Amino acid sequence: MVLTLLVSVYKLCRFFAMSGAERLAVPECVSQAGCWAAGSSSERREVSPGVNTDVRAALERILPALQRSIACAKQAAGPAELRQAIGEVFQLVEEAWGMPTLGRDVAKVLCDVIRLEGGLDLLLNLLYTAELETKCQAGKLLEQILVAENRDRIARIGLGVILNLAKERDVPPLAQSISGILEHMFKHTEETCSQLISDGGLDAILYWCRWTDPVVLRHCAMALANCAMHGGQANQRLMIEKRTAEWLFPLVFSRDDELIRLHACLAITVLATNKEIEKEVERSGTLALVEPFIASLDPERFACRMLGSSDSSQGRTAEDLQRLVPLLDSSRLEAQCIAAFYLCAEAAIKTRQKQTKIFREIGATQSLKRVVCYSTSSTTSSLAKKVLRMIGEEVPRRILPTVPNWKPCEVQTWLQQIGFNKYCQSFLDHQVDGDILLRLTEEELQEDLGMGSSITRKRFFRELTELKTFANYSTCDRSNLADWLGSIDPRFRQYTYNLLTCGINRSFLHRVTEQQLQDDCHIATGFHRVRILSAAREMLHSPITLQTASDGTDVFISYRRSTGSQLASLLKVHLQLHGFSVFIDVEKLEAGKFEDKLIQSVLSARNFVLVLSPNALDKCMADPECKDWVHKEIVTALNSGKNIVPVTDHFEWPDPETLPKDMRAVLKFNGIKWSHEYQEATIDKIIRFLQGRSSRDSSAGSENGLDCLPALGQT
């Protein structure tokens, strides 16, 4: 009790003792108590006559109570009375957000009224001056009212208050509301995102990614998704420099909360669509988790869950949905997959609200149809079909991707699908197959196939370019030229067949001149020619490094997925940030051809970290035939003499006699006790074991050796 009191006093003193460099400036209108009331109006605000009848009725019922509660907050005689008034305002706003169909319109009016009545400035003042309990209450309400205009007010006068509180990271109740406020502010503008990143807002979010509080983690995942989607490419680069891609891994990997995983998947896929940082995102290993996770979800069940949640029952706004369309049009399958899932869940919500026209307004229908026609992912294609059916659009047939092998009848099907039925007979008379289709010129289209209108020809070539871009050339592309061109720019895949029919492959491309690309390969755009030749010459001078099995990885992490996945993912991130290469099995594969690969991964790793979470070895006890994966991995590590480092988390060591003989030796290794509160200290100790001190050496430290270290985190 005394220790807790001393820690609290220390933190309070630390907050007020922060130097000017650490603590951000706060405008006078926030820092001076009572000035929030100076510009507020005591008049009763009337409902605008142009408001929807149902919305008007709801507002006439709620607004008087809201204004009374705001007045009580202004006149409160003490902290308890103030908190009660804030709680009443919170309940009114929460009730409004939860209203079916009307919620967004009603809640927005309430949020505006709170700002206009001086309530927003009052909340900022309380976050700056009040005691902890009132700060938490004020933060909780502020998080609920951050509509666009209120975010703008915060960005202009209150960002310093929020960022100063974000520096006090180890107060769980405050972290819940501050992380929620940051979640909303990261979608304000690119400039706001940049300020939040430079002044520590992103650092706070990434710090909280190691916690176990689902409320905080959900805010973190959504904050990172908002920053990626709204921050622009420059801020995306800053996110990567701060190792955001790595810290997204435990959020996606965790099995505890689907919403956390989904928002983290959105964040990592948006980052991956930025070509400048794509390689760094891929190296984090987080991107590989996206498609398997999305494939396991039911979008309609997810939509029902959203409808039952007060903060998302209205679904996303048109502006938010608009930002998903570029993901559908991306060349990355993960981006297409998660965008199709979000749109599918939103279609289920918008269908109930009879607002499906929103998908046509944002231009999503054509992108969805393109996904159905060309996507190589069955999950993504299936989701896109569901969306189109729900919003009443025609679902196109999937186009066979091997276009070079098309017969004339398949060309006919394609013409009908893109709306060029008028020219089907002409194409059939000339026996146009896939090979000829891919090499058609404008002159041939006009003179031989009778397409006289130049506008019609432009429409046709727009469709043909899309077909060339998504076609599968594997039957004639031995050097994988198509994917190489796509890695420069997804649009450049359209040139694949022209190059191949001229006898050009990847190994010969650097010898080709720009004039030859223009005359022989019909690449008309000069800038495209220059980029292709520059990339070909860079490829020639870049040494190709072959990774052999003997190279291996530094660490193999073995864990029980049911209880140890969160810790395993945290260990992966921490060790990677310290420069270790880490192998972690994403899905525990039950049988088949993957067994040899997994065992080989254990053999090729220099160290074996064994995560011993609650009941981690229970399945091994009744496994004399060594069929359990954890059992198999432990035996392989023991037999190959790996440096085994057990990391325990609420684990009770079993009686050796209960375990099979082939794995009992693992009990002789000293375990390192994991501490969420002392994560950095625990990692330092694990690294000492990995850098040469065998965990059989008791002098390296016992699992209880962290007691006197200063806390670095709180969960």
What SS3 class is residue 611? strand
Helix/strand/coil (H/E/C) assignment for every residue in 399-439: CCCCHHHCCHHHHHHHHHHCCCHHHHHHHHHCCCCHHHHHC
**String of DSSP letters for 290-333:** HHHHHHT--HHHHHHHHHTSTTTTT---HHHHHTTHHHHTSS-H
Burial of 146 (0-12, 13-18, 19+ CB in 10 A): buried
Task: In whole angstroms, give the CA distance from residue 341 to residue 344.
Answer: 5
Active-site annotation holder among 143, 183, 246, 633: 633
Task: In whole angstroms, give the CA distance from residue 63 to residue 91.
Answer: 13
**String of DSSP letters for 127-192:** HHHS-HHHHHHHHHHHHHT--HHHHHHIIIIIHHHHHHHHT-TT-HHHHHHHHHHHHHHTTS-HHH
What SS3 class is residue 212? coil
User: What does residue 356 show for φ and ψ, rounded to 5 degrees?
Assistant: -70, -15
CA 83, 85, 91, 96 dihedral sign is: negative
Cα–Cα separations (whole angstroms), residue 591 to 598, 622, 629, 640: 11, 18, 9, 22
Nearest CA to 268 out of 239, 297, 292 is that of 239
- 347-352: list long-range contacts, CB under 8 Å, 24+ apart: 347/386, 347/387, 347/390, 347/391, 348/299, 348/300, 348/303, 348/304, 348/390, 349/303, 349/306, 349/307, 349/314, 349/315, 350/315, 350/391, 351/390, 351/391, 352/307
Which residues touch 614 (CB under 8 Å, ≥6 apart)?
A: 563, 649, 650, 651, 652
Task: In whole angstroms, give the CA distance from residue 505 to residue 499.
Answer: 7
Determine which helix (DSSP H) or strand (DSSP E) holds 501, and give its type and residue range.
helix 496-501
What SS3 class is residue 648? strand
Nearest CA to 213 out of 712, 715, 565 is that of 715
258 noted as active-site residue: no
Catalytic residue numbers read 633
